[in-house]
Amino acid sequence: DAGITQSPRHKVTETGTPVTLRCHQTENHRYMYWYRQDPGHGLRLIHYSYGVKDTDKGEVSDGYSVSRSKTEDFLLTLESATSSQTSVYFCAISVVGEGPGELFFGEGSRLTVL
């Protein structure tokens, strides 16, 4: 158990509203990730973080921002949600020292944008 908690686990919102998903870890790992998973597209990287206040974009970062003000929390924000952002969002951590970048995932946050 890598001690990853995602919240909320389920959310329904309307187009144009802001949404923030939270990923919390209990073990002070440096690398954290946000992926989205959609049928036909698999898992796609949105943003990742390699330390406090250090973040970088993934392959599908448009419409998303992230923040990491402390090691244990990595926030994903949709400033103005769109229906195309309906998805299941997974947070993951890389357990450095356990191998070449294996990821441990949270249980996912299912977001529906109406």
Query: For residues 24 and 106, what is the distance between their CA atoms, to the nearest angstrom?
Result: 9
24 binds other proteins (CB under 8 A): no
Does 106 interact with other proteins (rule: CB under 8 A)? yes
Q: Which residues make Cβ contacts (< 8 Å) with residue 18, sequence separation at least 6?
A: 77, 78, 79, 80, 81
Q: Is 97 in the site for other proteins (CB under 8 A)?
A: no
Residue among 20, 61, 67, 105 that touches other proteins (CB under 8 A) = 105
Cα–Cα distances (Å) from 43 to 19, 35, 56, 94, 103, in that order, read 20, 6, 17, 16, 13
Minimal distance, residue 4 CB to other proteins, in Å: 8
Interface residue list for other proteins (CB under 8 A): 31, 33, 35, 40-45, 48, 50, 58-59, 90, 92, 94, 96, 99-108
